[in-house]
Structure 1
Amino acid sequence: MTPETLSTPPHVDVPTVPAPVDCMPSLVAAGQVAPVVTVDYYGGTAWVVTDMDLVRQALTDRRLSKDIELTPEWMRVPGVMLGSQPRADVARTMVMSEGREHDRIRRLHQRIFTPRDTARWGARLEVLAAELLDALAAEPGEVNLVEHYTYPLPLAFICEMLGLPPEMHGQMRRATDDIIYSPDQAVRTAGVGALAGAVAGWASNPEPLRDGLITGLLHAVDGDEAITLDEVVTWTVGLVMAGYESTASLISAGILEAMRCEPGRRPGTEAEIDAWIDETLRIHPPFPHATWRFATEDVDLGGYLVPKGAPVQINVAAANRCPHNGSTGTFDPAAGRPHISFGLGHHYCLGAPMARQEARIALSAFLARFPRARLSDTTEVRWQSEWMTRRINVLPVVLTDRARPRNPDRPGR
């Protein structure tokens, strides 16, 4: 088919600015309009793929490139994802590079995410989870698990992985919250500068750091494969943003789904936990849209025209629930339905095994420690989101039902 004979995707409205709402209904609804739609984005137009079959095609089509240099100028909005990326001549990230540069960056990151490292960090995660659950047991009444468990656990882990001492954890949390979820563009921009500035300061003076990823990258600056200081800063910021925020969102959603079930129907075995995590990834992808791609030529996607130069998004949320793929919006771990929450092809998420392990440990440890925990009867679960990020920011849980006072005139059981 020629560009003249291809269809123009219909336009839909989806939220693109962070707000205290759940974006999921809008994103799923967009997938019900057409397999490819267009969306207004910061003064321009983005092409969004929603159908699972076309999503799989788009994720593996090399004509849809993730090369940062293809970004149109109108998309470089300070404080949003692409506007926060450094210039290509300063440093490239794995998620926004292609070809030799992508292979090089991925190869260097693979040294961090080896199966041996994943297993080693698993033991440390179990300790961190136990410490947080001990502290949680001392909290009276209702607690917001986001503040006490689901975010502190991956935050402590990523900070240890980076080599940051505990006093720096708060700085990481504040910066990432500002960058991802502040509706104020100036605050988001300042957050990017604060996080990058902090990492740059540690890179230039690593004395306060413990042995970890940052010091490991710094040692590699003079190694066989040249790594620049700008790359150390850029890659570290990327790992904080992607590794911590997305895993915390996954853990929160997994526990939410467990709390919606009676205790006897919650996952208990390792296989049940694994299936629960995968179904959580399908129903609640932490990143409801994948990161950007750009058409290097006119592309035919299911009879729709994606013109050369067009910025392209993958609607992960809609694709995961695509009825053409036999999927639904019902949470059912036993069904074993597929998802693309970690991507597909040569940009498949390198940290997927680590994220799954964190979620597995967090969920199993919590359910074992508080088997009778339940959602609050008086406080609602609250969400924050925009089209690329989604999380629970209030997860109100009563850890145990309070025992009724025993009647002293009746014998105890």
Structure 2
Amino acid sequence: MKQDEYLEAPQAEMPTEPTPVDTMPAVLAAGAVAPIVKVDYYGGANWVVCDPALARAALLDGRLSKDMALAPDWMRVPGAMLGAQPDAEVAKAMVMSEGDEHTRIRRLHAKFFSPRKLPAWGERVEKLAAGLLDELAAEGGEVNLVDRFTFPLPLEFFSELIGVPPHLRPALREVTDVIIFSEDQDVRAGGVGGLAGTVAQWAADKGVLEKGFVTDLLDAEAEDSVSLNEVVTWTTGLIMAGYESTASLIASSIFEALRRPPGQRPQTEAEVSEWVEETLRVQPPLPHATWRFATEDIELGGYLIPQGAPVQVNLATANRCPHSSAGDEFAPGTGGDNISFGLGRHYCLGAPLARLEARIALSAFLSRFPHARLSETSEVRWESDWIIRRISALPVVLSPTTP
């Protein structure tokens, strides 16, 4: 196609800063404007792929690189995601690397996040869930399930995985809340630096940590040429992402169940699995995939994405588009698929574990509290931006007077 024959991506508005409301309606509305739209981001233009077929093509297109070294300088805003990444010569995270470097980092992570560990991990998640639910059963009444179950469960489990001892875990939630959801960019930037400094202290004194992912990485320094900067960068990234999105998935799965009467909630193992998949489709913890950059001029669906352009894939819109028979309706078991964990070489390595935790949490909660319901006096609250989204308050009555 000639330059003047390409379609012009129209401008769309999206909430690019964290806010204490649900931005999903705005994300979906922007995604419905055109198959590909442009969004203002810190004074520059960002291309967003929304069409379901084009979204899948973009996730698999090797010309759309996740190498953070390709990010333009204007995007490196302190407190924003790219601004939180170290310089490329210092260290690269798995989610922001490509080629041999990405393969190496992924291989080192995959050693730890092996599918063979899932059965044992599942037993541990079940035990942690049972303990949290025992505490809730002893109290009864109305609780914010986010504070008492949907967040503590993945936080405790993930902390065990990476080797953070119990007395340090409350601080993890505090700092990740600040980094991901604070509306103050300076505060977010300070949080990233503080977390990285803390991880560096852990790495310098392994006696602080229990055996887990961090100690495994430190042990791999000589064998696999892992640098201390990489240990710090990878651990910091895992802490920020490792349990936050899983907590969101668990909360949204339970929220969708409690919006319905007990007879319409999932009962069997298969139904629970379908419920979690449908939650991923309709309520993805990450409405957009993380950044990609065009390594050359790319024609996609008749639109030109110019070389060097930053690109995001609108997972939320692609999940809900008419390729699924369910569309916007929450309809487990109808065959609607999702790309919430991505596709191809950057498919989320932690997807099987996140699904496992969500299935166990949903099943355990509904089994213990089959007649629980949403509060009639307190509202469900969300906080989100265009990349990450979660329920911040899920008020639930555990023991309704009328089952």
Q: What is the TM-score of this pair, normalised by structure 1? A: 0.96
SS of aligned partner of 1:237: helix
Report matched runs for 1:80-119 at 5 Å. 80-119=80-119
The equivalent residue for 1:410 is none
Q: Aligned equivalents of 2:332 and 2:237: distance in 1?
A: 31
1:173 aligns with 2:179: no
For 1:206-355, what aligned pairs fall within 5 Å after superposition? 206-223=206-223, 225-355=224-354
- Corresponding residue for 1:382? 381
Aligned to 2:390: 391
Distance 2:119 2:242 in 1: 17
- Per-residue CA deviations over 1:155-177 (Å, capped at 9, x if unaligned) read 00111011111111111001100
Q: CA deviation at 1:403?
A: 6.5
Aligned to 1:6: 6
What is the root-mean-square deviation of aligned Cα atoms in Å? 1.2
Correspondence for 2:182: 182
- For 1:190 and 1:170, locate their aligned partners in 2 and report how far apart those are by CA, in whole Å: 18
Q: Which has the larger radius of gyration?
A: 1
Contact 1:145 1:394 in 2 (8 A): yes
Report deviation, 1:227: 0.5
Closer/same/farther in 2, CA of residues 293 and 164 from structure 1, 3 Å limit: same
2:208 aligned counterpart, secondary structure: coil
1:68 match? 68
For 1:137, the equivalent position in structure 2 comes to 137
In structure 2, the CA distance between the partners of 1:327 and 1:8, relative to structure 1 (3 Å rule), is: farther
Range moving further from structure 2, 320-329 or 341-350:
320-329
1:206-227 Cα distance to aligned partner (Å, 9 max, x none): 112111111111111111x211
Code of the aligned partner of 1:118: L
Question: 1:33-56 deviations in whole A, cap 9, x for unaligned?
Answer: 100000011111100000000001
2-structure distance, mates of 1:300, 1:326: 29
Is the Cα–Cα contact under 8 Å of residues 325 and 334 in structure 2 kept in the other structure?
A: no
Confirm or deny: 8 A CA contact 1:218 1:232 kept in the other structure.
yes
Deviations 1:5-62 (A, max 9, x none): 2111000111011111111111111121100000011111100000000001101111
What's the CA shift string for 1:342-386, capped at 9, x where partnerless? 000111111100000010111111011111100001111110000
State the secondary structure of the residue aligned to 2:200.
helix
Aligned counterparts of 2:191 and 2:144: Cα–Cα separation in 1: 25
Looking at structure 2, the residues matched to 214 and 130 of structure 1 have their Cα atoms a distance apart, in angstroms, of: 27
Q: Is the CA contact (8 Å cut-off) linking 1:6 and 1:303 kept in structure 2?
A: yes
Question: Following the alignment from structure 2 to structure 1, what is the Cα–Cα distance between the partners of residues 95 and 55?
Answer: 17
Q: CA deviation at 1:302?
A: 0.5
Q: Distance in 2 between matches of 1:391 and 1:238?
A: 18
* AA at the equivalent of 1:168: L
Corresponding residue pairs, total? 403
CA contact (8 A) 1:46 1:311 kept: yes
Displacement after TM superposition at 1:324 (Å): 4.7
In structure 2, how many angstroms separate the alpha carbons of the residues matched to 1:139 and 1:299? 58
Q: Is the 8 A contact 1:279 1:336 kept in 2?
A: no
2:364 maps to which residue?
365
Q: Distance in 1 between matches of 2:220 and 2:32?
A: 48
| Unmatched tracts of structure 1, length 5 or more | 405-413
CA spacing shift, 1:197–1:42, aligned 2, 3 Å: same
| Cα pair 1:78 1:189 within 8 Å, conserved | yes
Q: CA deviation at 1:140?
A: 4.2
Describe the SS at the equivalent of 1:77: coil
Secondary structure of the residue aligned to 2:399 is coil
Counterparts in 2 of 1:397-408, with a 5 A limit?
397-402=396-401
Instruction: Give the partner amino acid of 2:186.
Output: A
Does the aligned pair in 2 maintain the 1:320–1:327 contact within 8 Å? no
Inter-partner Cα distance in structure 1 for 2:138 and 2:2: 66
The whole-number CA distance in structure 2 between the counterparts of 1:158 and 1:332 is 30
Q: Aligned residue for 2:148?
A: 148
Q: Is the 8 A contact 1:374 1:397 kept in 2?
A: yes
Looking at structure 1, the residues matched to 274 and 325 of structure 2 have their Cα atoms a distance apart, in angstroms, of: 17
State the SS of the aligned residue for 1:11: coil
1:409 corresponding residue in structure 2: none
Q: CA deviation at 1:328?
A: 0.9
Equivalent residues in 2 for 1:117-128, closer than 5 Å? 117-128=117-128
Partner residue in 2 for 1:56 = 56
Query: Counterpart of 1:162 in structure 2: which amino acid?
Result: I
1:338 alignment partner AA: D
How far is 1:323 from its partner?
2.0
- 1:238 deviates by 1.4
Question: Aligned residues: percent identity?
Answer: 61
Q: Secondary structure of 1:333's partner? A: coil
* Deviation string, structure 1 residues 115-169 (Cα, Å, up to 9, x no partner): 2212211111111101111111233421000000000000001110111111111
